[in-house]
């Protein structure tokens, strides 16, 4: 039986790393020198690579000064190529961060184009690529950009941000490049130790649909974003992830095994089938507590005469997470609670009633968090404490949650009945 080592606080690992900072032509390029400065000040070796249009927004002289290296911007620069050719440069990189990344750059990368030095490096490298998009909010929301982003995520590219707020063009909305600190944090995570290595993690996400008839169902507003973010973070942290999700259009996070389901009963069956050997179960899915007693085989017709009310008889669904917690050899079980009033007392009661090791409560009556938003704020509750997870992106909250779970349950996860059960 092998012993699993899980570190509580992952060390920062950028010192001595070779980072290519790619800069494309957007107003947010004015933040690039601060990003480069922040990276060099913690010991990273930074090579700046600019696209042609980046020169309209920030000077190569400034970037050379803060990086301590001549800026590269030309695929055909004989002098630079003689010192380190672009393939060598692609191999030199431990990571590439493109900040800001314009809509045009996202499209080029999604299409696999290699028209300049930066896009060529991105194609030629084996290193992780992180992209910090920055563009007008309408351009970010455009279906073509959404398609390109989905393609890049599928290709394993990390998309960091964008943030939301006032834009240089006068608009308000998503499309602002994240601040240099957040970008450095994202790079640090790339080199963080795989804190969940050797562990199997099952995550449920999204809504369920409970059929009324062949064309109608009972459901809720869950988009799956929070559960998918946790699945992505767990996979990045080295876990073997099974993601069981209700209907959603979200792309499958890199490295996760995905099982699509519709109803609570489907979810129950899928969870039970794969439960043996799991070390951690995180129930983020918004599961319908009730379903119609009997789904009609044909579409229910509207009553033309008679009563103007209709009664739907419901029956209780199986409680998926409670069944996991009550299994013979349960994994560490973490639930979510979506509450609209008395959030903390309600969640405390729910955790005890369902016999969960921990519960994460989000007050979904608050605007801008919870169902279908890109942000969340929550409180993690376990036997011995409670911890507020401040308002942040769902991606950030996912990582913070996993870090905390590992910290709190480090001993428990190393117990033979849990972490090392099948290793």
- List the beta bridge partners of residue 62: none
Pick 22 or 207: Cβ nearer ligand PMT: 207
- List the beta bridge partners of residue 176: 163
Classify 46 as helix, strand or coil: strand
169 is a catalytic site residue: yes
138: number of CA atoms within 13 Å, CB side?
3
Give whole-number Cα distances, 189 to 7, 95, 159, 307, in Å: 14, 11, 13, 60
Tokens representing residue 148 in the block: 């390109």
The phi, psi pair for 38, rounded to 5°, reads -65, -40
CB of 211 to ligand PMT, least distance (A): 16
Pick from 230, 134, 236, 245: nearest CA to 195: 236
Pick 120 or 208: Cβ nearer ligand PMT: 208
CB of 336 to ligand PMT, least distance (A): 3
Pick 197 or 316: Cβ nearer ligand PMT: 316
CB of 192 to ligand PMT, least distance (A): 24
**Active-site residue identified among 122, 169, 245, 256:** 169
Buried b (16+ CB within 10 A) or exposed e, 314-329: eeebebbbbebbeeee
CB of 149 to ligand PMT, least distance (A): 17
Pick 17 or 225: Cβ nearer ligand PMT: 225
Pick 153 or 264: Cβ nearer ligand PMT: 264
What's the CA gap between 396 and 52, in Å, rounded? 32
CB of 88 to ligand PMT, least distance (A): 43
- List the beta bridge partners of residue 389: 378
Q: Which residues bind ligand PMT (CB under 6 A)?
A: 204, 206, 222-227, 264, 283-287, 289, 317, 319-321, 335-338, 350, 362, 364, 370-372
| CA angle at 108 for the pair 135 and 131, rounded to the nearest 5° | 55
Q: Which residues are catalytic?
A: 169
């Amino acid at each position: 039986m092998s012993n699993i080592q899980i570190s509580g606080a992952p060390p920062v690992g950028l010192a001595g790393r070779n980072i290519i900072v790619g800069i494309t032509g957007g107003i947010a390029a004015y933040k690039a020198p601060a990003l480069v400065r922040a990276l060099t000040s913690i010991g990273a070796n930074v090579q700046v690579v600019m696209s042609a249009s980046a020169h309209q927004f920030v000077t190569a002289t400034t970037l050379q000064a803060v990086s301590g290296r001549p800026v590269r911007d030309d695929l055909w620069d004989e002098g630079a190529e003689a010192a380190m050719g672009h393939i060598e440069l692609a191999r030199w990189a431990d990571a590439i961060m493109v900040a800001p990344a314009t809509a045009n750059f996202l499209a080029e990368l999604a299409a696999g184009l290699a028209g300049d030095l930066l896009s060529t490096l991105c194609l030629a490298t084996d290193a992780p690529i992180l992209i910090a998009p920055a563009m007008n909010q309408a351009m970010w929301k455009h279906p073509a950009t959404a398609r390109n982003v989905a393609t890049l995520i599928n290709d394993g590219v990390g998309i960091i941000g964008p943030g939301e707020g006032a834009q240089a063009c006068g608009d308000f909305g998503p499309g602002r490049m994240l601040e240099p600190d957040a970008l450095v944090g994202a790079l640090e995570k790339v080199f963080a130790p795989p804190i969940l290595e050797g562990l199997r993690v099952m995550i449920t996400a999204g809504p369920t649909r409970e059929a009324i008839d062949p064309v109608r169902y009972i459901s809720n507003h869950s988009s799956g974003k929070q559960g998918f973010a946790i699945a992505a973070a767990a996979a990045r942290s080295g876990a073997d992830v099974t993601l069981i999700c209700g209907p959603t259009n979200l792309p499958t996070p890199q490295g996760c095994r995905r099982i699509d389901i519709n109803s609570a009963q489907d979810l129950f069956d899928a969870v039970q089938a794969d439960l043996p050997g799991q070390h951690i179960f995180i129930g983020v899915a918004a599961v319908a507590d009730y379903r119609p007693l009997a789904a009609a085989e044909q579409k229910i017709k509207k009553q033309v005469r008679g009563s103007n009310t209709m009664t739907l008889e419901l029956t209780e669904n199986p409680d998926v997470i409670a069944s996991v917690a009550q299994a013979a050899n349960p994994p560490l079980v973490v639930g979510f609670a979506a509450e609209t009033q008395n959030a903390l007392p309600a969640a405390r009661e729910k955790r005890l009633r369902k016999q969960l090791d921990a519960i994460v409560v989000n007050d979904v009556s608050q605007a801008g968090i919870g169902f279908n938003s890109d942000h969340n704020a929550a409180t993690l509750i376990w036997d011995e404490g409670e911890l507020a997870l401040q308002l942040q992106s769902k991606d950030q909250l996912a990582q913070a949650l996993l870090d905390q779970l590992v910290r709190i349950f480090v001993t428990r996860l190393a117990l033979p009945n849990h972490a090392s059960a099948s290793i």
